[in-house]
A and B are shown apart, each in its own frame.
Chain A
Amino acid sequence: MSLVYAGVLSHAPGITGRADLAKNTGLRDEFYAALDQQRQEIEASGAEALIVVAAEHFANFFMNNMPAYCIGIGDRYEGPIEDPDWLKIAKTSVPGAGDLAAKITREVMHTVDVAYAEEWKFDHGIMVPLNFLTPQYDLPIIPVNINCQGPPLTPLPRAWAFGEALRGACDSVPEKVAIVGTGGISHWPATPDSGKINEAWDRDFLDRLMRNDRAALMDYDDEETYQEAGQGGFEIRTFITIAAAAGGLGELQFYTAELPIFAVGCTVAKFSLDSAS
């Protein structure tokens, strides 16, 4: 087995870009500490590469050719695309893991059709996680995108199948691989409703996620999610993919809905790695 770590975390741009505006600095710093704990756990796993399953934000793909799933197979990536002063993350070059990513892509293709890309520009959806998880940018990254913005969106059972395929692919290579999923739960990002969070909806979802209850996780439809959790709620696909890849129970390490300036319920969790199903 070569998958050595699986976890999830939030990625909203405010987490870095509006850090100074958070009123509850104690809670903000607890969140940052949980992210640093996640960094330490990934390092302790001995991971030689990190797969980041993120949500497409129109940094790389547009509706002229929008993949449901895409895996980055490049050797280097650039980011962030955003104004660095706005995101408060400097523009940098991030190492990829092209050969490993290509092997993983080939394996995934046995069960799930994916797009792949040798060019990829990271936006906040990947740069914010990397800012905390590999602050020196010294761990090779395999970026993965799921279209969560531009309907038609991939059905949830396909996101689950994609997670299982990623797990099988990771277990087929000798390298030690860590995987994180990064998305929001309920949120209304970049709209006038930014900062709105449906905490009850979030906690119910997280309960299903930590139990790794496939049937309960599949029991959402996008219309209901949109009403209760906003457009940002479509990003549960990234978390569901990780649950499927991990196979084991989750452990919620941090959650708060009390940092609205970050415009998302801030989440950090990890999963035990049961045998791939």
Chain B
Amino acid sequence: MSLYNTQKFLYELNRDEATQARYRADLEALIGGFDLTGEESNALREGDIGLLYVLGVNGQILMHYAAFLGIEWFDYLDQMRAGIEKYGPVRAGVYAMTGGGDSFTTEGKES
């Protein structure tokens, strides 16, 4: 697992408009520039928020990436929860699970 490299990919994508342009023009080439596992590459290729969360990507990085992908806030939270359901608990990084993944927001998508 190369969580460091996965987060570095997202860090550079989040803050650098030139990297964002490369992402849109040739994602495979961008991914190829980082030493990533197949699972990590697929997660980035598919924008799999749930898997990236389970792999241990910091929320401050993941949240901005989700916004870049145009994922709405409640969908972002749901995709992390679905990731836990599908892939199991967070495997690495600063957080293992800090709670059960319940919603603590009284507001909802309908609001």
CA A196 – CA B80 in complex, angstroms?
A: 15
Interface hit among B22-30, B39-47, B62-70: B62-70
Q: Is the CB of B106 within 8 A of A260?
A: yes
A149 in contact with B4 (CB, 8 Å): no
Query: B67 and A82: CB pair below 8 A?
Result: yes
Stretch at the interface among A93-101, A103-111, A138-146, A183-191: A183-191
Give which listed residue, B64, B81, B94, contacts A231 with CB less than 8 A: B94
A191 in contact with B59 (CB, 8 Å):
yes
Note all chain B residues with C-beta closer than 8 A to A223: none
* Total A-B pairs, Cβ < 8 A: 102
Pick the residue among B61, B77, B80, B104 that contacts A58 (CB under 8 A): B61
Whether the Cβ atoms of A230 and B98 lie closer than 8 Å is yes
A63:B94 contact, CB within 8 angstroms: no
CA distance in complex: A13, B67 (Å): 11
CA distance A191 to B60 in the complex (A): 9
Flag if A260 contacts B104 (CB, 8 Å).
yes
In angstroms, Cα B107 to Cα A18, docked, is 10
Contact of B104 among A23, A83, A195, A226 (CB under 8 A): A195
Tell me the bound Cα distance from A193 to B84 in angstroms.
Answer: 12
Known: A150-B94, A261-B107. A193 touches B99 (CB 8 A): yes
Query: How many residues does chain A have at the interface if contact means C-beta atoms less than 8 Å apart?
Result: 40
Q: Interface residues of B: mostly helix, strand, loop or mixed?
A: helix
A117 proximal to B (CB < 8 A): no
Determine the residue in chain A with the shortest Cβ distance to B50. Answer: A192
CA A123 to CA B67, docked complex, whole Å: 13
Chain B, range 96-111, C-beta contacts under 8 Å to A: 98-99, 101-107, 111
Contacts of A196 in B (CB 8 A): 99, 104
The complex places the Cα of A158 from the Cα of B7 at a distance, in Å, of: 28
Cβ of A36 to closest chain B Cβ, rounded Å: 23
Q: Contact between B95 and A63 (Cβ–Cβ < 8 Å)? A: no
Q: Mark A169-197, 1 if CB is under 8 A from B, else 0.
A: 00000000000000000001111111111
Residue numbers in B under 8 Å from A81 (CB-CB): 14-15, 64
Q: Are B81 and A23 in contact, with the CB atoms below 8 A?
A: no
Q: How far is the CB of B43 from chain A (nearest CB, A)?
A: 17
Tell whether A214 is near chain B: CB-to-CB under 8 Å. no
A226-277 contacts to B (CB < 8 Å): 226, 230-231, 260-261, 263
Chain A residues with CB below 8 A from B53, complex form: 191-192
* Residues in chain B near residue A57, CB distance under 8 A: 60
Cα A230 to Cα B95 in complex, Å, equals 9
Chain B residues closer than 8 Å to A195, beta-carbon distance: 103-106
Q: How far is the CA of A151 from the CA of B107 in the complex (A)?
A: 32
Residues of B within 8 A of A (CB): 4, 7-8, 11, 14-15, 53, 58-64, 67-68, 70, 73, 77, 80-81, 84, 94-95, 98-99, 101-107, 111
Q: List 30 A-B contacts (CB under 8 A).
A: A17-B73, A18-B73, A18-B107, A21-B73, A21-B107, A23-B106, A23-B111, A58-B14, A58-B58, A58-B61, A81-B14, A81-B15, A82-B14, A82-B67, A83-B70, A86-B67, A149-B58, A188-B104, A190-B59, A192-B53, A192-B77, A192-B81, A192-B101, A193-B104, A195-B106, A226-B98, A231-B95, A261-B106, A261-B107, A263-B105
Beyond A64-B8, A82-B67: 16 further Cβ-contacts under 8 Å?
A: A22-B107, A23-B107, A58-B58, A83-B67, A83-B68, A83-B70, A150-B58, A192-B80, A192-B81, A193-B104, A194-B104, A194-B105, A231-B98, A260-B105, A260-B106, A260-B107
